[in-house]
Amino acid sequence: MHHRVLEGFTRGAAKLAVNTVVLSLREGYVALIPFFVLAALLSLVSHWLGYGEASSFLHFFTSLNAIVWGLFPVVTLLSFTYYLAKNLKLNTIAVPILVLICFCTATQYLLFFDDGSVRVNYGGGLIFTIAMPIFCCYLIHRLLDIRKFKLGPASSISLFLNKHLNLILPYIIVLVACLAVFPLIEATLNSLSNAFNSWVVNKSDGAQLALNVIGTHIMWFLGVHGDTAQHTTGLWEQRDISDSSVYLNSFVMVGGVGGMWGLVLACFIHGRASYESSIAKLGAPLVVFNLSEVMVYALPIVFNPYFLVPFLTVPLTNALLSEMVFSTGVLSINTNATNVPWFMPVLFNGYLSTGSLGGALWQVVLICVNALMYLPFVRANSRHNISGRELDVLIKRVSAGRQLERQVEAQFARRDNEKIAQQKQLNRAIKELKHGMLCLYYQPKVCNKSHKLIGYEALLRVKKQDGSIIAPWFIDILDKFEMMDVVDSFVIDQLELDLLEFKRHSFYPKVSFNISPQNLINRRYKRVIRAFSKFPEQVEVEILESTYIDDFIRTQEVVAALKENGIRCAIDDFGTGYSCLSILSKLNVDTIKFDRSLLPEDEHDKAIHLYKSLSQMCHQLGFEVIAEGVESEFHIDYMRDLPVDQLQGYYFSKPLNIEQAIRECATRRRMDTKAARR
C-alpha cells in the first residue's frame, strides 16, 4: 500500500513538473531570483538603518524599498506571462503587454487622480499575478486557432506582419473578457476574505498563529511572496501572538519562512555533490539573515509537491514544540525583545529574545528536528524531480530557441551517465543557437551534359556572432531529443519567403530541401503543402531512405499527398547504409540522390563499377539521378557518359546566401542569352 501511494505520488509529481503552467511559473521565478534577492536585501538594509544611527540614509532606502516592493506584482506578472506565452508559442512581447493592461485595469493596481498623480494600489489583485496570465494566455491561444479571427492570408503579406495583425481581434476579446470576469472574481474573494477574518478574530491565539503560518506558507508555495500578500491584502492580520512577532521569527520560522535552516542543513546532509546542496550553499548566506528567497525560488519550493508537506508542517511543529517549552516557564520572551530585528541571525536572535543561552540552544534543537523532517523529502526530490539546475535557456533567431526551452527542461528527468553526456551535447547546441542565428544557403545543381544551372538545394546554416557561417552540427542531437520541429518550421518559413524573393526577380529555380523524417510523415507535410503548393513542380522534398524502411506505407501516403499538390519528392543520401534495393521498384518518388560516399576517388577505385550500375538501374526505373559531392575534374569526366541528370558539389559552387543565389541566376541568364544570340 505504502509503495503504491508513493508511486502514485511520484507519477503525479512528474506530470506536474512538466505541466506548461508549472514549467512557466518555475522559469519565471528563476528568472526573477536577482530581483527577489535585491528586494530582500533592500528590506534588510532599510530595516537595519531603521535600527541604527545612519538615519540620513534611512529615507532614501525606505523609498527605494517601497518602489521595489510596489513593482513586485508587475514584475512577477510580466515574467510569468513571458514564459507562459513562450511555451504556448504566443508572441512574447504583445501578450505580456496585453496581460499587463488587463491586470492594471481590472484590479485597479494603478490609481489615477484628478491632480495628475498616480498611486500604486499595493494590494490590488496580488493573487491575480498568476490567474491573469493563465486566463489571458490560454484564451488568446484558443482564439488564434479560430479561422474567422484571422485578418488575412500569410501569402499576401509578410509572415511577421500577418502574425501580428491576427492578434488584433483576440487582443480586443481578451481585454473585454478580463474586464468582465476579474472584477467579479475580486469582489467574491474580498467577501470570502472578510468572512474569513471575521471567523478568525474569535479564535484563540494558538489557532490564529496556526492559520497565520498556514496561510502565509501557502502563498509562498503558490509563488506569491507570502509576507507581501499578508501585509497588502489584510488576510490573517497578525496580533500580538505569544508576546510578540519576535516569537514568530525566532522560534517558529527559524531562519526564515518554512524553517529554512532545517532545509539548508538537510540539503548538506543529503550530499555535497548534489544539486540540493549546491543551492543550499548559494542560499545559506541569505538564510543567515532570515532571507529565504533563493531556497524558495531556486530549489524550488514553489509548486514543488515534494516540499509541500514539510514546508507547511515544519513551522507548525516549531510552534507546537515551542509553545510546550514556553508554557512550562523554562523559556520566556524577554521584555526588551521588541528591539530584536527580524533579520538578526539565528542563535543571536534566540539569545536576545529570551535573554539566555537557553533560547539559542532551543533553536539548535528546532533546527535539528526541522532537518530530520526535511531530509526524506530532499532525498525524494533528488531522486524523482526535475532539477532546477537542469533548467536551461535556449534562445535563437526566428523563435526556434524560445520554443525549445520547455522541451530542454523536460528532458532532464533522467540522469544516467549516457543521458548526462547527451545533455552536455544539447547544452552546447543550445549555446550555439543562443549566440547565433539560423539561415538558409543554396548550393547550385547543374545539368550533367550542359552544366547549365537547374536549381538549388536549400541547406541549413548557422551564422555566428563574428559573422562566420558553420554547418548545423547539432541536427542529430536535436533529433534525438525530438526537438527538430521548431528548426523544421524555420526552414519551411524561410524557404517560402526566399522563393517569393526569387519570384520577385523573375527567377523560378527548382529548389530541394529536407526536414526531420519523423516530423515530415507525422504532421509537417501539411505545412509543406500549404507553403509550397503555390510553387508547382518547383519544390522538391528530400526524404531519407531510412524513412521508407521505417514506415513504408505511411511514407508512400505522404509522398502521394505531396505529389498531388505539385511538390516533387526525392530520396536523399542514397547508399549511406540503409539502402534496400528491393524497395527501389516500389518507390513513388521522382528523384534518387546518390550520396557523396558512393563517388569513386579515381579511375582505379572499384566504386566506378558500382556507381555506374546503380545509376543505370535507377535511370531504367524512371528516376532522375543526382550526383552529390562532385569536386574534381575526374568526377566531371567520369559522370559525362553516365545516365546522371544533375550534378552538385564544390566543383561548381559552394553554398550561396539568397542574395548570391539571385545574382548567380542573373549571371547564368545573361550567359544563356549571349550564347543564344551566337
For the ranges 353-362, 447-456, 527-536, 575-584, which has the lowest average pLDDT?
Answer: 575-584
Position 405 scores a pLDDT of 42
Position 626 scores a pLDDT of 94
Is a pLDDT exceeding 60 seen at residue 364? yes
H or E stretch at 571: strand 568-574
For residue 676, name the pLDDT band (cuts at 50, 70, 90).
Answer: low
3-state secondary structure of 463: strand
Average pLDDT over residues 388-414: 41
For residue 590, name the pLDDT band (cuts at 50, 70, 90).
Answer: very high
Instruction: Report how far Cα 213 is from the mean position of its chain's Cα atoms.
Output: 33
Cα→Cα distances 130→19, 69, 222, Å: 15, 17, 9
Closest CA to 159 of 405, 490, 488: 490
For the ranges 38-42, 230-234, 351-355, which has the lowest average pLDDT?
Answer: 230-234
Average pLDDT over residues 528-554: 86
Exposure b/e, 453-492, CB count within 10 A at least 16 = b: bbbbbbbbbbbeeeeeeeebebeebbeebebbbbbbbbbb
Position 397 scores a pLDDT of 37
Q: What is the CATH number of the domain that holds 484?
A: 3.20.20.450
Question: Which is more confident, 272 or 589?
Answer: 589
How far is residue 134's CA from residue 565's CA, in Å, rounded to a whole number?
A: 40
Which amino acid does the sequence have at 536? P
How far is residue 311's CA from residue 305's CA, in Å, rounded to a whole number?
A: 10
Is a pLDDT exceeding 50 seen at residue 396? no
Which cell is 385 given? Answer: 524531480
Q: How large is the angle between the packed helices 275-287 and 260-270, nearest 10 degrees?
A: 150
Average pLDDT over residues 359-372: 92
Question: Which is more confident, 277 or 444?
Answer: 444
Residue 666 domain-assigned (yes or no): yes
Condensed to tens digits (0 to 9), the pLDDT of residues 563-578 reads 999 999 998 888 765 5
For the ranges 378-392, 503-517, 605-619, which has the lowest average pLDDT?
Answer: 378-392
Position 126 scores a pLDDT of 63
Question: What ranges in 400-551 are assigned the alpha helix state H?
Answer: 400-410, 417-435, 475-480, 484-504, 517-519, 525-532, 545-550
Residue 188 domain-assigned (yes or no): no
Is a pLDDT exceeding 90 seen at residue 182? no
Give the percent of the chain with pLDDT over 70.
Answer: 75
Average pLDDT over residues 540-554: 80
The answer for residues whose C-beta is within 8 angstroms of residue 151's C-beta and 6 or more apart is 162, 165, 166, 168, 169
Position 18 scores a pLDDT of 58
Is a pLDDT exceeding 80 seen at residue 259? yes
Closest CA to 289 of 59, 34, 45: 45
**CA geometry: angle at 456 spanning 453 and 462, to 5°?**
140
How far is residue 280's CA from residue 620's CA, in Å, rounded to a whole number?
A: 70
Question: Which is more confident, 359 or 191?
Answer: 359
The answer for residues whose C-beta is within 8 angstroms of residue 395's C-beta and 6 or more apart is 401, 402, 405, 433, 434
DSSP annotation of 523: I
Report the chain's mean pLDDT, rounded to a whole number.
Answer: 78
Which cell is 22 given? Answer: 508549472
Closest CA to 71 of 25, 230, 63, 178: 63
Residue 544 domain-assigned (yes or no): yes
Average pLDDT over residues 69-80: 82
Average pLDDT over residues 462-470: 82
Is a pLDDT exceeding 70 seen at residue 160? no
Residue 501 domain-assigned (yes or no): yes
Position 49 scores a pLDDT of 63
Look at the chain and report how many structural domains it folds into: 1
Position 647 scores a pLDDT of 94
Which cell is 542 given? Answer: 528530400
Cα→Cα distances 186→191, 258, 388, Å: 9, 28, 33
Instruction: Report how far Cα 577 is from the mean position of its chain's Cα atoms.
Output: 36
Residue 659 domain-assigned (yes or no): yes
Is a pLDDT exceeding 70 seen at residue 306? yes
Position 248 scores a pLDDT of 81
For residue 423, name the pLDDT band (cuts at 50, 70, 90).
Answer: low
3-state secondary structure of 239: coil
H or E stretch at 460: strand 453-463
For residue 373, name the pLDDT band (cuts at 50, 70, 90).
Answer: very high
**Domain extent for 442:** 437-677
Residue 595 domain-assigned (yes or no): yes
How far is residue 374's CA from residue 187's CA, in Å, rounded to a whole number?
A: 38
For residue 229, name the pLDDT band (cuts at 50, 70, 90).
Answer: very low
